[in-house]
Structure 1
C-alpha cells in the first residue's frame, strides 16, 4: 500500500546558546527525534537533517509518512481450559479478559491452549504524534544546567522564544516547552531583525539565508575555515586553525565574516604560547605564523556582521587585544624576576589534594620516585631529581595563574631563563605528556622519569584514599594517567614492572597512608585500561585476556605477548590449537589441575600418536626455551603452531583416560607438558571462538 509522505520541520528559537555546546545539543536533539520516529514506526525511508545556529536548533525530516501503518495485534489471555464451564458458558476468567481487552466474548479464540484476541489497530496521524516526539527529545537532551525564565516552570538550556512545526505546509497543532507551534522564525539579529514566515520545510534553509543566517552548522564551519585560511594567505602568512576554536566561533556566528588585524611587534618577545592562549581564550582570535612556524603580529577575528566599515571593526579589535597582550607581557616580565627554585618552598602553601598534603609534599615524593626510575632505566639521576624538584613551581607564577593551559610550557621558558640544564627545561613541559590520546611522549629521560613519577604518585595517592574512577566520573583524570604510564612504558621500551612502580609509590611519605588493597586494586584498574587501549587498536579482547590470565604485570612484556598472540590468532592453526588447549585445560582441571605431574615415562607410551606428540613436545621445549628467554614470543608461537597435526592426531586416536592408571597419568603428564609450552606465553585456550 502506498503511503503519502510530507516533509517535517521543527525549529526551536532561543536566546544565544552556549557556543561550545551547540553541536552537541544539535546532535542530541536530532538523535532524540530519530529515536522517537523509530519508536512510533515512522522511520522508514526518511532522511533526517539537522541545523544549528547561535539562536536556533532545527531538524528537517523528509519523506515522513502522514500516518502510521495499521497493524495487527494479538493479545493472549488465560488458559482456554478455565475459560468456559462444562456447559460452554464463559467463566469469570474469560469475561474479565474480554472486558480488559475492550472486546466481547464472541471475539475470543484459542491458540496453543490459550485464549487470544486478534484485532486491527489503526495507525495514528503523524501530526498528532510530532509534538510529543519533540518534547520527549528535548527532555532527554544532556543539559548539565537547565534554566527557567519568566513565570514559566519550563526549563531548557536557554530561554525559548519561538517554535516552528510544519508538516508539509501545514502548522502542526501542538505545544512544546510551553510554546504553541507556528510558522514564524527570526532573521539575523542585526541584518534582518524581523519575523520571517516559513512556508514549508523545503524553503527553510534558503529563507534563513535570505535573512542573513547560515543555519547549516557544517556549512558555516567550513565557510569560516575557508575565510580564515584565505585571510592568512592575504596577509602573507599561514592561519593556524585550532579545531576547538573553530567549533566555538561556529557556535557564535550566524553570518560570519573574517577580518585580519595587527598587534605591536614588541609583544613577540613574550613566549608565543602565551600570546596565542590570550588571543584564543579571551578574544576567540586565530593566530598567524610565517613559513618557519614563527608567530606573526597578526590575528584573524570573526564578526557576526557584514560591516560597511570593516576598518573600524578591525581597529576596535586591535584596541581590545592590546591590553590583553600587555597583561601577558607583564606576567612574563614579573615572573622572570624570581627563579623557579625560589618558588619551591612556597609550594607548601598550596594543598594538592585534601588528606594527601601540599604540592611541596608531592614534589618531595616525586624527587625520590623519579630518582628510583632514573636508576632503573640508567638515566641521569641528578637531572631527573632536579626536574622533579622544579616541575610544579611554575604553578605559582602569574602566567600560569592567568593561563592555566600554559602549565609546564611556562616552566620550560622560565627554566631556560634560569640557566637550567636543557633536559630539565624540556622536562617541565614533558611531565604532562601524553595529555590526550595520540599525544607525543616525553623525549628526554628526565621528562620520562617525572612523567611516570607524577602519574604513579597521583594514582597511588588517590587510589589509596579510595578515589577510584566510576562510570563517567573521573575528576582527577586517573584514566588518562593510567594510560599515560602504560604508553610510556611500552612505547619507550621501559622494562619496569607495574608492581615495582606502585611499590615505590606506596613507599613514599604520605599524610594518609594508602589502603592495604591499593596495589592490587590499582594493578587491576591499569590492566583494564590496557585492555581498552588494545581494543581501540583493533586487537580483540580475548587476545589481551589470554595474556592477562598469566598474571604478568610488566607492561612491556605484556605488550610483547599481546602482539605475538594477536599475530598467532590470525594463523590457520590458531583455532584448532586454542580448542585443543581448552580441552587440555578441562581434562587437567578434572584430574588434579596443578598437582598433575609433568614427568613422562617413555616406556608407557604405546600409541603411535602419543609417541609422535611426546617427541614433538620435547623438541619444541628445546626449540622455544631460548626464544622465551629473549621474549621472542612471536617466533615461539610460530614454532608451536607446528604442533597442530600431532595434537589433532593425539585426540583423534588416543584415549587419555585409559583404564590403566599409570598409562592415564602418563598421558596427563604429556598434556601437562603440552599446556606448559603455550602457557609460558599466554593461555591460548581463551582464543577459542564460541
Structure 2
C-alpha cells in the first residue's frame, strides 16, 4: 500500500479584494490539483481555505511519491542509424544526445514496420513534497489577476503584498522560496484579537489553530455562520433579513471573525422607495436590511463586524451615524424628483447621447415607441399603453436619484410614473423593460412590459449592427449577446408568435431617418439565430436536432421551438432512424436530378405495388398532417408521418428509382419529392 501524506500551503497577504477572493481561491486550488494530476498524483480530499488575509489549500491523503515511470523514446530507423562504414549517423548521434546518453546506451526495437533505435529508462518517481513548491508557484502565476503589484525591494508580484507562506508536508516544513518569501510554518491569526504569530503543527491542525486565533479559515463556513447568525438576529427583531448571495459572499470575504450587530434608522426614511434604501445599505455599507412579514422594509439593519467589541452599542451607533446622511440624500433626491413629471423630462433626453451615430436617448425612445406600437399591433395588445411606456422608458435616467444610483433605473421610473398618475401597467413596464437582466432572471410579467422589453432590445441590436459595431469573440461592449438571449427567452418562454425578420425590418425602417438609408438586417438576424443554437445547447439538446430545424431557416423563435420539440419527440421513435436515413437518401437522389421534377404524381404510372402503397400512404398522411401544420402542431404531424416507415422501406427495397424509362423515373422522383417536401414542413430529417 502506498504511503500517503498531507500537504498544506498558505499564502498570507494583506487584505485581498473581497469581490475577487472566492474566484482567486478556486483558481489557486484548481491550479494545485491540476499540477499534481499532471504528475500522476491525486489527493483523497482537497480542502480549500479563503479569508481576507490568506489563501490556503490542504491536500489530504496524497501519495508520498510518484510511481516509477518507464520511459521509452523511439528514434530513427536502424537503416538510417549508420553510415556506409557502419558508424553511427548524425541522426543517431543526435537522438542519443537528446536523450542525454551515449549511442551505446540505445537499444533496438523490432516492429512489423522495421527496426528502430529506442531509448529506454526506468525513472524513479519524485517525492510529492519536492514537487509542491513548483506546483504552488505555477498556480500562483496562473491566477486571474488583471493587475499585479510589487512591494518592498523584491521583484515578486501578486494581487496584494505577501508577508508569510506556510508550506508543510505532514509535520515537516518544505524548504522553498515562493514569491520571494522563505516558506515556514508560521501563520497569523486575527489582526486585532490574536496578532501574535502561530506555528502550524500539521495540515489537519490548520483550521483548528486559526479558529483559536479568531479566524474562520473556510469561506463556506464563514458564509454559513453569517447567514445563520444574521437570520437569528433578524428573527429577534421581528423581521427577515434581505440576503442576496452576492452580498453574503462579499461580506464573507471582508471578515475573518463575523459578529452580527443590529442597528436602526429613523422611520421617516421609510417614505423613500425601499429599493433606494436597500441599494444604499447593500451597495455602499454592506448592511443587511430587514423586511416584515408583508415584505415591507423595517427601520432596522444588521451589519457584520470583524471584531468582538467590548461595547457593541458603540459600533451600532457608528453604523447608524454612517448611514443617516446617505439616507438623507436619497430622501432629498426623491422629494426633488417628484416636483417634475417623467413626461416633462422627456425633452431633456435630447441632451443625452445614446450612441454618436444612433443619436440621443430621445431619438432612441422615439424609435422604440414606433417599434412597440408595431409589436402591440401584432400581439393585438393595447397600442396606447405600449407607446406611452416607450416614450417614458428612459425619462428616469435624467432624475437625481438614478443619476446617483444608476442601478435603480427602471425601478425609480415605476415609482415616478405611479406618482404622476400614469396607468399601472405603464408604470410596471418601466421597470420590466430591463428584464431579463442576466441568465435565468425573471421575464416581464405584464404585456406592456414584454412589448417594451422586446422593442428596446430589438432597437439596440438593429442599431448596433447597422453601424458595424457587431460583437467579436472577445468584445461585446453593448451586451448584445445578453440582449439577444433575452429576446429569444421572451419569444419562446412567453409564447409570443413574432417573426424576428419582421421585427428587425421594422427596426431598420425606424433607423432610416437617422442613418440616411435603410440598413440591411441580415447579419443581425443571423446573429440572433446563432444565439438560438447556444440557447438550446445550454439546455443539453443534441446539436443535430437543432440543426435539423435550423436548416429550414425559420425566423420565428416560437415556431422554431415547436418544430424542435417535434423533432426531439420523433427521435425517440423506433421509426426515426430508418426515416432519417430515407430522408438522407432521398435528398441525395434529388440533388443529382438536373431536369425539372413533375409537381404531381401520375397514378397511372405507378406500376410497382410498393410505389402504389407509398403513394396511397402519402396521400392519406397528407390529409392528416396538413391541418396539423396549419395549427403548428408539428409534434403530432411527425408522429403521424412516422407511419410512413414501412411503405418507404418497401419502396426502396422493391423499386428502382433511376429506371431507364424516363416517364416512370420522373414519376418516382415526383413521389419522392412530395415525400421529402412533407417532412420538410417540419424539419430536415436528413441532418439526423
Shorter-chain TM-score above 0.5: yes
Q: Secondary structure of 2:534's match?
A: helix
Q: Secondary structure of 1:494's match?
A: coil
* C-alpha distance in structure 1 between counterparts of 2:513 and 2:149, whole Å: 42
TM-score by length of 2: 0.96
1:85 CA displacement: 4.7
Per the alignment, do residues 574 and 339 of structure 1 end up closer, same or farther by CA in structure 2, a change over 3 Å counting? same
- Corresponding position of 1:126: 128
Structure 2, unaligned stretches of length 5 or more?
none
Q: Does 1:206 align with 2:182?
A: no
- Corresponding position of 1:80: 78
- Corresponding position of 1:629: 630
1:518 CA displacement: 4.5
Structure 1, unaligned stretches of length 5 or more?
none
Assess if the C-alpha contact under 8 Å between 1:460 and 1:514 holds in 2: no
Of the candidates 353, 364, 372, which is equivalent to residue 355 of structure 2?
A: 353
- Corresponding position of 1:245: 247
Query: Root-mean-square deviation (CA), in Å?
Result: 1.8
* C-alpha distance in structure 1 between counterparts of 2:91 and 2:390, whole Å: 80
- Indicate the larger mover: 660-669 or 491-500: 660-669
1:238 CA displacement: 1.3
- Corresponding position of 1:608: 609
Taking the TM superposition and a 5 Å limit, the aligned residue runs for 1:170-569 are 170-509=172-511, 513=515, 518-569=520-571
User: Deviation per CA, 1:62-115, whole angstroms, max 9, x where unpaired?
Assistant: 122222221111111112112235665433333332233223333321333222
1:438 CA displacement: 2.7
Q: Secondary structure of 1:597's match?
A: coil
- Corresponding position of 2:93: 95
* C-alpha distance in structure 2 between counterparts of 1:518 and 1:240, whole Å: 47
* C-alpha distance in structure 2 between counterparts of 1:527 and 1:562, whole Å: 14
* C-alpha distance in structure 2 between counterparts of 1:216 and 1:472, whole Å: 34
- Indicate the larger mover: 466-475 or 116-125: 466-475
Q: Does 1:39 align with 2:38?
A: yes
- Corresponding position of 2:165: 163
Q: Secondary structure of 1:60's match?
A: strand
Assess if the C-alpha contact under 8 Å between 1:14 and 1:55 holds in 2: yes
- Corresponding position of 2:3: 4
- Indicate the larger mover: 401-410 or 574-583: 574-583
Per the alignment, do residues 198 and 392 of structure 1 end up closer, same or farther by CA in structure 2, a change over 3 Å counting? same
Per the alignment, do residues 512 and 583 of structure 1 end up closer, same or farther by CA in structure 2, a change over 3 Å counting? same
Per the alignment, do residues 4 and 421 of structure 1 end up closer, same or farther by CA in structure 2, a change over 3 Å counting? same
* C-alpha distance in structure 1 between counterparts of 2:276 and 2:96, whole Å: 77
Assess if the C-alpha contact under 8 Å between 1:598 and 1:670 holds in 2: no
Q: Secondary structure of 1:344's match?
A: helix
Q: Secondary structure of 2:88's match?
A: coil
- Indicate the larger mover: 244-253 or 111-120: 111-120
1:579 CA displacement: 1.7
Per the alignment, do residues 439 and 94 of structure 1 end up closer, same or farther by CA in structure 2, a change over 3 Å counting? closer
* C-alpha distance in structure 2 between counterparts of 1:398 and 1:550, whole Å: 50
Per the alignment, do residues 103 and 242 of structure 1 end up closer, same or farther by CA in structure 2, a change over 3 Å counting? same
Assess if the C-alpha contact under 8 Å between 2:347 and 2:362 holds in 1: yes
Assess if the C-alpha contact under 8 Å between 2:346 and 2:392 holds in 1: yes
1:511 CA displacement: 7.7
- Indicate the larger mover: 178-187 or 560-569: 560-569
Q: Does 1:650 align with 2:651?
A: yes
* C-alpha distance in structure 2 between counterparts of 1:516 and 1:70, whole Å: 70
Assess if the C-alpha contact under 8 Å between 1:257 and 1:304 holds in 2: yes
Q: Does 1:670 align with 2:671?
A: yes
Assess if the C-alpha contact under 8 Å between 2:512 and 2:518 holds in 1: no
Q: Does 1:570 align with 2:568?
A: no
Per the alignment, do residues 515 and 657 of structure 1 end up closer, same or farther by CA in structure 2, a change over 3 Å counting? farther
Q: Secondary structure of 1:226's match?
A: helix
User: Deviation per CA, 1:298-326, whole angstroms, max 9, x where unpaired?
Assistant: 11111111122112211221111111211
- Indicate the larger mover: 200-209 or 488-497: 488-497
* C-alpha distance in structure 1 between counterparts of 2:147 and 2:519, whole Å: 37
1:501 CA displacement: 0.6
Taking the TM superposition and a 5 Å limit, the aligned residue runs for 1:587-602 are 587-592=589-594, 595-602=596-603
The total of aligned residue pairs comes to: 684
Q: Does 1:13 align with 2:12?
A: yes
* C-alpha distance in structure 2 between counterparts of 1:82 and 1:420, whole Å: 90
* C-alpha distance in structure 2 between counterparts of 1:16 and 1:473, whole Å: 31
* C-alpha distance in structure 1 between counterparts of 2:672 and 2:428, whole Å: 55
Assess if the C-alpha contact under 8 Å between 2:16 and 2:159 holds in 1: yes
User: Deviation per CA, 1:609-668, whole angstroms, max 9, x where unpaired?
Assistant: 222111111111121111111111111111101111222222223232333333333222
- Corresponding position of 1:638: 639
User: Deviation per CA, 1:212-249, whole angstroms, max 9, x where unpaired?
Assistant: 10001111111111011111111111112111100010
1:516 CA displacement: 7.9
Per the alignment, do residues 582 and 444 of structure 1 end up closer, same or farther by CA in structure 2, a change over 3 Å counting? same
Per the alignment, do residues 489 and 223 of structure 1 end up closer, same or farther by CA in structure 2, a change over 3 Å counting? same
* C-alpha distance in structure 2 between counterparts of 1:87 and 1:278, whole Å: 88
Per the alignment, do residues 236 and 682 of structure 1 end up closer, same or farther by CA in structure 2, a change over 3 Å counting? same
* C-alpha distance in structure 1 between counterparts of 2:89 and 2:636, whole Å: 77
- Corresponding position of 1:108: 107
1:472 CA displacement: 4.4
Per the alignment, do residues 215 and 592 of structure 1 end up closer, same or farther by CA in structure 2, a change over 3 Å counting? farther
TM superposition outliers: structure 1 runs of 4+ over 6 Å: 514-517
User: Deviation per CA, 1:135-180, whole angstroms, max 9, x where unpaired?
Assistant: 1111111112222222333221111111111112111122221112
* C-alpha distance in structure 2 between counterparts of 1:502 and 1:164, whole Å: 60
1:260 CA displacement: 1.5
Assess if the C-alpha contact under 8 Å between 1:343 and 1:393 holds in 2: yes
* C-alpha distance in structure 1 between counterparts of 2:549 and 2:679, whole Å: 11
- Corresponding position of 1:583: 585
Assess if the C-alpha contact under 8 Å between 1:9 and 1:167 holds in 2: yes
TM-score by length of 1: 0.96
* C-alpha distance in structure 2 between counterparts of 1:190 and 1:205, whole Å: 18
Per the alignment, do residues 403 and 649 of structure 1 end up closer, same or farther by CA in structure 2, a change over 3 Å counting? same
* C-alpha distance in structure 2 between counterparts of 1:537 and 1:90, whole Å: 61
Assess if the C-alpha contact under 8 Å between 2:15 and 2:53 holds in 1: yes
Q: Does 1:52 align with 2:50?
A: yes
